[in-house]
Structure 1
Amino acid sequence: METVQAGRTRTAAEVIDHARRLVDPALRGAVDTLGPSMRRIAGYHLGWWDADGTPVRESGGKAIRPALTVLCAEAVGATGGAAVPVAVAVELVHNFSLLHDDVIDRDTTRRHRPTAWTVFGRGDAILAGDALSTLAVDVVAGSGHPHALEAVRMVNATVQELIDGQSVDMAFESRDDVGVAECRAMAESKTGALLSCACALGALYGGGDRARVAALAEFGGLLGLAFQFVDDLLGIWGDPALTGKPAHSDLGNRKKSLPVVAALNSRSPQAVELAELYHGGGELDRDDQARAARLIEEAGGRAWSTGQADSLLDLAMDRLAVAELPDGPTAELAALARLVTRRDH
């Protein structure tokens, strides 16, 4: 089992690499238990092989959630290995949601290559997401940990919250009157819930007391919401070479992300023009997407979202302080939080 080097604070990249080395073998082992068709789609989505099953040299996702889980276990005094089953579960749930989101949002690119549904079909991509969700519960239930039943309930509650958040997000598509507060609440469910669960599960499996589990859950929830603000900014102004998605990717299908909703509610001339553009039918072409991005920025949506992300990161750091962890783990969690909320990735 890999151990953490004593006396030295690791960088965020080192924390993620450490978590990958711990979690990836168990994640692959879990996916290998799926039936052949679901295993093939899941492995493609995770970046392990191409559509024909030939292994490729891909890093997959960022592994932020399992890194948080492992680090929270270490922060309360355990080895990272104690949290591997729940870290695997968190990553499985995350990828279940991505498979479904890509179908719902009709996204054609993820991680610099075609999304699973464009390769294998909508139905099979949905089924693969379902398979990952049920597999996550199975991994936790079979972990043998004294808190396994509690962890199963936490995972299931988080999945329910994710689904509810996705449902609300879908309902926004047919509405012209989405408010900022309800958009933020949707993001708390859709993104904040899983990061909160990731941190809480790590602390739980690491033997943390209830106060630390609760504080780290709040830290993760605030960090998750900050991450969604950043992700929404990247969905409009992110560099395709870094994000793996086309420029203005969230605007083509008139997605009501946080910067968009803030701009639409600004009562500015740009808000009126943006509303006329956004409330039409069909997808926006590239010129309209560029125009929408300009209007959102001029209406203050970009600046507001940036400020919200910064404020939420500060609040997350406050909750981290409440957990009263040793200095090293606190610094590492803070570094990982800053990495998550960077706007250049």
Structure 2
Amino acid sequence: MTLDVRPSARDVLSHGRALFDPALRAAVDRLPGTMRHIAGYHFGWWDADGTQLDADQGKAIRPTMTLCSAAAVGGAVADAVPAAVAVELVHNFTLLHDDVMDRDRTRRHRATAWCVFGTGQAILAGDALLTLAYEVLAEDGHPAFRPAATALSHAVLAVQDGQAADLSFETRTDVTLPECVRMAQQKTAALLGCATGLGALYGGGTPEQVAHLRSFGEHIGLAFQLVDDLLGIWGDPEVTGKPVHSDLVSRKKSLPVVAALRTTSPAADRLAELYLTPDPLAPATAATAADLVAEAGGRAWCRDEIATHHARAAESLRLGAVNERPAAELSALADLITHRDH
């Protein structure tokens, strides 16, 4: 049997949020007052003074993939809601901390939490979300709690190691492409792989199914980072919420940049000269750098890698999923991630 109509990624995400959002809000409501207030601001539920809002809350790709993965292996979606909430809490823990470390002043077109409440308070709010994630898993009492908590811990440690590597790249001139790929695998792919793996685990999947669904998430997670890095150079500011060429202005050693620098070409040599400048690049210079990245092959390399990991993800999904509809929903989300405008 084949589906008559391919699921819409937008509908899948909307349905996923409707399923897990009440549980997410209920969990955050249990936080101490100050932490709850900062977390709710970060999630877009209210303004800095507590006024209720309907702000951009993000796509919620990770928790939705958790729910779809549970159904894909034949489980009940409702059983995976605590795992989805835990994944979303951990993801936002990383965002709160990343904004502080990267000194980003806006997220989803709003001032970041550290800009509004202070650095220390934002860090503590992130810590609170991480703690809450494990509490949500423990209180649910699902038989898979222990392996789920272990998998989540491994993902968090990988994210932290990846973020540490990313920070170290800022002061290095010898970053290799394998190092950069590994950083992306840890910083982005590990948590997305954990999200789909936990869904399969909570859906009662076999060890083989859990491994295949985790692999699906990891490949899509790496593709996600590759696309993000392309958007950090060539993305539309109206969509990304960041200035044009933002990653180049800050001389970020993103995947397309490092891929370009590893080539032997005049464009790569010129790009290397620009990246040796200690100060942020001026807008005109950043525009030149973007042209050099493309000329040296960095943009094309990323697009090839995105296609490769998309195909590998599709194969992992084919091997691990038994239910056609949720598998198609996961495929639609994979297409959404990999076909953003870049």
**Mean alpha-carbon deviation: is it higher for 281-290 or for 262-271?**
281-290
Residue 12 of structure 2 is aligned with which of 8, 15, 25? 15
Query: Partner residue of 2:119?
Result: 122
* Residues 108-127 of structure 1, C-alpha deviations (whole Å, 9 max, x = no match): 22111222222222221111
Note if 1:333 corresponds to 2:330.
Answer: yes
- Give the drift of 1:43: 1.2
1:250 is paired with a residue of what secondary structure?
helix
2:248 is paired with a residue of what secondary structure?
coil
1:14 is paired with a residue of what secondary structure?
helix
Note if 1:101 corresponds to 2:98.
Answer: yes
- 8 A Cα contact 1:10 1:332, kept in partner: yes
Alignment of 1:66-145 (within 5 A): 66-145=63-142
- 8 A Cα contact 2:74 2:323, kept in partner: no
- Give the drift of 1:7: 8.8
Cα distance between partner residues in 1 of 2:106 and 2:56: 16
- Give the drift of 1:8: 6.8
* Residues 65-115 of structure 1, C-alpha deviations (whole Å, 9 max, x = no match): 011000001112222211110101111111111111111112122111222
- Give the drift of 1:9: 5.5
Cα distance between partner residues in 2 of 1:122 and 1:290: 32
* Residues 211-257 of structure 1, C-alpha deviations (whole Å, 9 max, x = no match): 11110001110110011100111111111111122212222221111
Alignment of 1:169-248 (within 5 A): 169-248=166-245
* Residues 164-213 of structure 1, C-alpha deviations (whole Å, 9 max, x = no match): 11111111111101111110011001111001100010011111111111
Unaligned runs of 5+ in 2: none
**Mean alpha-carbon deviation: is it higher for 122-131 or for 310-319?**
122-131
What one-letter code is carried by the residue in structure 2 that aligns with 1:164? D
- Give the drift of 1:324: 4.5
**Mean alpha-carbon deviation: is it higher for 8-17 or for 169-178?**
8-17
2:205 is paired with a residue of what secondary structure?
coil
- 8 A Cα contact 2:73 2:321, kept in partner: no
- 8 A Cα contact 1:113 1:244, kept in partner: no
**Mean alpha-carbon deviation: is it higher for 290-299 or for 280-289?**
280-289
* Residues 10-56 of structure 1, C-alpha deviations (whole Å, 9 max, x = no match): 32222111110011111111111112221121111111111111111
Query: Partner residue of 2:288?
Result: 291
2:246 is paired with a residue of what secondary structure?
coil
User: Relative to structure 1, is the Cα distance of residues 286 and 118 closer, same or farther in structure 2, using a 3 angstrom cutoff?
Assistant: farther
Cα distance between partner residues in 2 of 1:339 and 1:182: 27
Query: Partner residue of 1:3?
Result: none
Note if 1:249 corresponds to 2:274.
Answer: no
Residue 149 of structure 1 is aligned with which of 146, 151, 167? 146
Unaligned runs of 5+ in 1: 1-5
Cα distance between partner residues in 2 of 1:142 and 1:282: 50
Residue 168 of structure 1 is aligned with which of 161, 165, 178? 165
Cα distance between partner residues in 2 of 1:339 and 1:241: 18
- Give the drift of 1:326: 2.7
**Mean alpha-carbon deviation: is it higher for 118-127 or for 197-206?**
118-127
Cα distance between partner residues in 2 of 1:323 and 1:212: 4
- 8 A Cα contact 1:137 1:156, kept in partner: no
In the alignment of these two chains, the number of paired residues is 340
Q: CA RMSD in A?
A: 1.6
TM-score (norm 2): 0.96
Cα distance between partner residues in 2 of 1:125 and 1:270: 41
What one-letter code is carried by the residue in structure 1 that aligns with 2:112? T
* Residues 262-283 of structure 1, C-alpha deviations (whole Å, 9 max, x = no match): 1111121111111111122122
Cα distance between partner residues in 1 of 2:283 and 2:135: 44
Cα distance between partner residues in 2 of 1:11 and 1:339: 9
**Mean alpha-carbon deviation: is it higher for 283-292 or for 217-226?**
283-292
Cα distance between partner residues in 2 of 1:292 and 1:31: 43
1:142 is paired with a residue of what secondary structure?
helix
Query: Partner residue of 1:309?
Result: 306
- 8 A Cα contact 2:165 2:183, kept in partner: yes
Query: Partner residue of 1:274?
Result: 271
Cα distance between partner residues in 2 of 1:48 and 1:268: 49
**Mean alpha-carbon deviation: is it higher for 313-322 or for 102-111?**
102-111
- Identical residues among aligned pairs (%): 57
- Give the drift of 1:344: 2.3
Query: Partner residue of 2:61?
Result: 64
